Amino acid sequence: MSELYSEKLIEHFRNPKNAGEIKDADVRVTVGNPVCGDVMTFTMKVRREKDKEIIEDIKFKTFGCAAAIASSDILAELAKGKTIEEAKTLSYKDIVRELGGLPPVKVHCTQMAVDGLKKLIEEYERKKKRNHC
């Protein structure tokens, strides 16, 4: 495994800081990859400050490979503290860079984590609209 992955990736896989579930989350979503069968569930808590909406916390439960687990953990780290608008600009490239590179065959694992973030934000915005009606 260590030939395929960077030390940083292995550390996030072995000791993820953001694994689990937020009990009073604002949103909860699940994304999956039909090809490999892996699944990620994310929960997110958003804090409102004046006119800003800041991602306070993201937790994940991932059934998948080492790259998928490390990507979920890094995604949570990158998104926390960002506004919803800032988080929309995160891409799989940011995660790959943070992980210290990734073999091309594993990039889809990272993309799945980004899809999870996109879905969290979509669901959050949908909920917000519904509550304002």
Interacting residues toward ligand FES by CB under 6 A: 33, 36, 38, 64-65, 67-68, 109, 112
Instruction: Give the residue with the Cβ less far from ligand FES, 9 or 46.
Output: 9
Give the orientation angle of helix 66-79 with respect to helix 7-14, to 10 degrees. Answer: 90
Joined together, the tokens standing for residue 39 give 């699944």
Which amino acid, residue 109? C
109 catalytic? Reply is yes
Closest CB 57 distance from ligand FES, rounded Å: 23
36 catalytic? Reply is yes
Closest CB 110 distance from ligand FES, rounded Å: 9
CB of 90 within 8 A of CB of 79? yes
First to last CA, the chain: 51
Closest CB 50 distance from ligand FES, rounded Å: 38
- In the set 20, 21, 36, 85, the catalytic residue is 36
